[in-house]
Amino acid sequence: MSKAAVIGKPIGHSLSPAIFTFLSHEQNFQYSSQEVDATELPQFIQNFRNDSEMVGLNVTIPHKELVIDHLDELSPEVRVTGASNVIHKSQGKLTGYNTDICGILMTLKNHHKGSLSGKRAWVLGAGGAARAVLYALGELKLGQVDVVNRTAERSLKLVKQMKQFFPSTEWRAVSGSDETGKDASIYFEPGDSFSLIINATPLGMSADLLKRDAFYSIPLFIRVFTAMETSKISDEETSAEQKKTGFRIEKGAVAFDLIYRPENTPFLNIAKQYGLIPVGGLEMLVEQALAAWKIWFGPVPNMDAQKTPLLNFLRNRPIFLTGFMGAGKSTVGKILSQRLSRDFLDLDRVIEAKENKTIGQIFEEKGEAVFREIEFKEFKKYFLSPNTVLALGGGTLLNPQIRSLILKVGTLIYLRTKPETIAKRIKSQNQVRPLLTSLGDLEQEAKIETLLKERESFYLQAQVQVDTDTLTPEEISDQISERLVY
């Protein structure tokens, strides 16, 4: 068994567990995410060194820079950028890589037609991700790169460093004190044209910034986009005179936002209005992950063929419904899947079809332990299906491997129901429930309560929880749809 993990703080939002679980399906590989505080980092790296099964780490905020002090060797990219997002352990040595750069280069190659050599770009931000962006642009030999940042010292420092490593590119730090953006000349000089604008800030990540108005209230972008608006000339009106006074967005120019959640950011929406080709950060995330996989395990045949299915999976990660028997998982699952235009799968029905027996018969003839084995086998066939709603059985989460896989790849929803409601529903449904057969009303209620107590801690790991007792299946589906965050 080989193992890898992503470390950072916070880490709950990371898509790396979903990506690497998707890539390693059916292989002898285990991927986990671990929240590591800066103070715990030295000990964590020591443990990583000592764990013979661990081959690699993905490193995210805030450790990309800190981790370097604990490594034995650094790739040239890490030496220049001072940031490492991938560590590989080989023959006891830890080497730091920066695959964000590869992710950026691949994404630009996929979307900008023709060479970027000699062209002009803007980069918004001067943090860790911007460093990888600048390295990639230096490699591509851009003619001029303007780094626009809120804190001037940071962009100045970065630009100074890049001048040293990539002298053929003209690097400029632009801070611009005019918050209203009236002074467009800060950004544009007569006759300017550009091919690329990259957002390497987290602006646009939170939901309240999704409205264009709210977005415009952010000073940095007010300055940049107002500058664009006042200086822009369109192709039709480009006379020789205007070419001298306005600026031009080149045909095929790309607007690349490193943010991957949400994929469609306000920055990209505005850029679209200027005719730029919008590119979100998800592709970069996938490319940098594939590059990490290659570092850990060497070139993998057909790796490139995984890109499109992986992107599709990340955009439509599965939804799992859990809850006690009678909680309404099947009914709600059907309604929810229609509402979200997803496929619906009911794990119990899948098992019944496969075994050609009812769940009751399987329990009776083979016992619960065998049933759980069959359940796990069937679960593994479907848990990586994109665009699905999968209703689990009431006891599916008893399996720790299933719990772990679900929390890595998708969204778990708990339909919470009181024991007395469950008892009433089960009675009215008149269905065979293997764990409750041949029990009187009172014994049945007591058994429901006991089983619920055993299982509830697993159900409560769900990212979305809905109290179902007083709601119709439609109302439950409404609540879930409103609270889903992909």
Which residues of the chain form contacts with ligand NAP (CB under 6 A)? 61, 100, 103, 125-130, 149-151, 154, 200-203, 205, 218, 220, 258-260, 281, 284-285, 288
What is the nearest approach in angstroms of ligand NAP to the Cβ of residue 37?
A: 17
C-alpha of 200 from chain center: 16
Q: By the 8 A CB rule, do 112 and 254 touch?
A: yes
Minimum CB distance to ligand NAP smaller for 257 or for 375:
257
Minimum CB distance to ligand NAP smaller for 156 or for 471:
156
Give Cβ neighbours of residue 13 (< 8 Å, ≥ 6 apart).
261
Minimum CB distance to ligand NAP smaller for 195 or for 288:
288
What is the nearest approach in angstroms of ligand NAP to the Cβ of residue 62?
A: 8
Burial code (b: 16+ CB inside 10 Å, e: under 16) for 204-217 equals beeeebeeeeebee
Minimum CB distance to ligand NAP smaller for 61 or for 303:
61
Minimum CB distance to ligand NAP smaller for 206 or for 429:
206
**CA atoms of 85 and 97, how far apart (whole Å):** 6
What is the nearest approach in angstroms of ligand NAP to the Cβ of residue 302?
A: 22
**Which amino acid makes up residue 107?**
T
Q: Which of 206, 214, 250, 424 is nearest to 328 (CA)?
A: 424
What is the nearest approach in angstroms of ligand NAP to the Cβ of residue 40?
A: 20
Backbone phi, then psi, for 435, in 5-degree steps? -80, -5
Q: Token match 């044209």: residue?
A: 193
Q: Which of 384, 373, 382 is nearest to 408 (CA)?
A: 384
What is the nearest approach in angstroms of ligand NAP to the Cβ of residue 285?
A: 4
Minimum CB distance to ligand NAP smaller for 62 or for 360:
62
What is the nearest approach in angstroms of ligand NAP to the Cβ of residue 64?
A: 7
Q: By the 8 A CB rule, do 191 and 243 touch?
A: yes
Q: By the 8 A CB rule, do 36 and 44 touch?
A: yes
What is the nearest approach in angstroms of ligand NAP to the Cβ of residue 187?
A: 15
Minimum CB distance to ligand NAP smaller for 61 or for 66:
61
| Minimal CB distance residue for ligand NAP | 127
CA angle 177, 180, 183 (to 5 degrees): 65
What size, in residues, is the chain? 486
Backbone phi, then psi, for 20, in 5-degree steps? -75, -25
**CA atoms of 65 and 134, how far apart (whole Å):** 16
What is the nearest approach in angstroms of ligand NAP to the Cβ of residue 343?
A: 28
Minimum CB distance to ligand NAP smaller for 281 or for 323:
281
Which two tokens mark 314? 């990340």
